[in-house]
Structure 1
Amino acid sequence: MPQLDKVTFFSQYFWLLIFFLTFYFFVLKIVLPTVVTIFKLRKKKLEAMASEVEQLKKEQSSILSNYDSVLIDSFSSSREIFNSTVSKSNKWIDESARSLNKTSLLDVNKKYLNAINDINKEYLAFNKIKSLI
């Protein structure tokens, strides 16, 4: 077998050493600096992204707090507007009813009160007759 030939051991060791040293210096001088550079760039990029994420979270919280305050202000102003509109409409309805009762419906109101008075008189008369019997 040629692998066990003692004459070729030295040449096999020599080429193994040459190949190994060449591979070692190739990895040491070319591959490792490239990998280290890539890792450094990746680390810087991740740190920059983390700081941007923090900044965006702060901005988001400020936007949400502003949104909440605007929403609360708008709800309170709409509540005030609604309450003022309801009170104004109630005042208008009361004034309109008073005005109608004093002008257009005066005769009708008098007739209604007279009718109620007549009904009460009849009721009292009926109760008096009932109590006499």
Structure 2
Amino acid sequence: MPQLDRIIIFPQVFWLLVIFTMFYIILTHFFLPRFLKALKARKEIVKINELEASLVSERSTDNQAKLRFLLLSHLSIVKKIFSMNSALNISNAKILNTQAVDELVSVMVKNSILFCNSQILDSICIKVRSIYSK
């Protein structure tokens, strides 16, 4: 059988080993370092992005807590104002004096117009609902 002849097999094995070792050397010395640098760079980018995401989420939760605190403190101030002024007290809807409330709202709107920017006031949407509606 000519396929298993020693004269034909040894040169094929020799060139296989030569080509394989050259291919291995080229891959390990030229392409593998570039590939490893790319992997390390990607890993660092992912780590930096995770740190930035955690910082942004921490800032967001801090800002939410500050906003919640400000809203609660201002809400308590508004509650004090409503409780101090008898015209704004809505505990009993049948005794409600709408004339006094309308006068106070008109004074507040007049002061806002005099001392605030009209563009800011135009951006505020006011919807009036009756107390007696169901």
TM-score category, normalised to shorter length: 0.5 to 0.7
More RCO (CA 8 Å, sep 6+): 2
**Structure 2 CA distance for partners of 1:89 and 1:60, relative to 1, 3 Å:** closer
Does 1:39 find its partner at 2:39? yes
Letter aligned with residue 84 of structure 1: M
Q: Please tell me the root mean square deviation across aligned C-alpha atoms, in Å.
A: 1.9
**Matched ranges for 1:39-78 at <5 A:** 39-78=39-78
Q: Structure 2: how far apart are the matches of 1:42 and 1:72?
A: 45
Q: Structure 2: how far apart are the matches of 1:52 and 1:71?
A: 28
Deviation at 1:13, TM superposition (A): 1.5
Q: Structure 2: how far apart are the matches of 1:74 and 1:45?
A: 43
Letter aligned with residue 75 of structure 1: L
For 1:13, the equivalent position in structure 2 comes to 13
TM-score (norm 2): 0.59
| Percent of residue pairs bearing the same amino acid type | 29
Q: Structure 2: how far apart are the matches of 1:89 and 1:57?
A: 40
Q: Structure 1: how far apart are the matches of 2:34 and 2:63?
A: 43
Q: Deviations over 1:68-110 (max 9, x none)?
A: 111101211221121123x2568xx7xxxxxxxxxxxxxxxxx
**Structure 2 CA distance for partners of 1:16 and 1:88, relative to 1, 3 Å:** same
Q: Structure 2: how far apart are the matches of 1:39 and 1:83?
A: 65
Deviation at 1:12, TM superposition (A): 0.6
Letter aligned with residue 53 of structure 2: V
Q: Runs of 4+ in structure 1 displaced over 6 angstroms?
A: none
Count of aligned pairs between the two proteins: 90
**Structure 2 CA distance for partners of 1:89 and 1:22, relative to 1, 3 Å:** closer
For 1:130, the equivalent position in structure 2 comes to none
Structure 2: runs of 5+ lacking an equivalent: 90-96, 98-134
Letter aligned with residue 42 of structure 1: R
Q: Structure 2: how far apart are the matches of 1:6 and 1:53?
A: 66
**Local SS of the residue matching 1:48:** helix
Larger helix proportion of the pair: 1
For 1:81, the equivalent position in structure 2 comes to 81
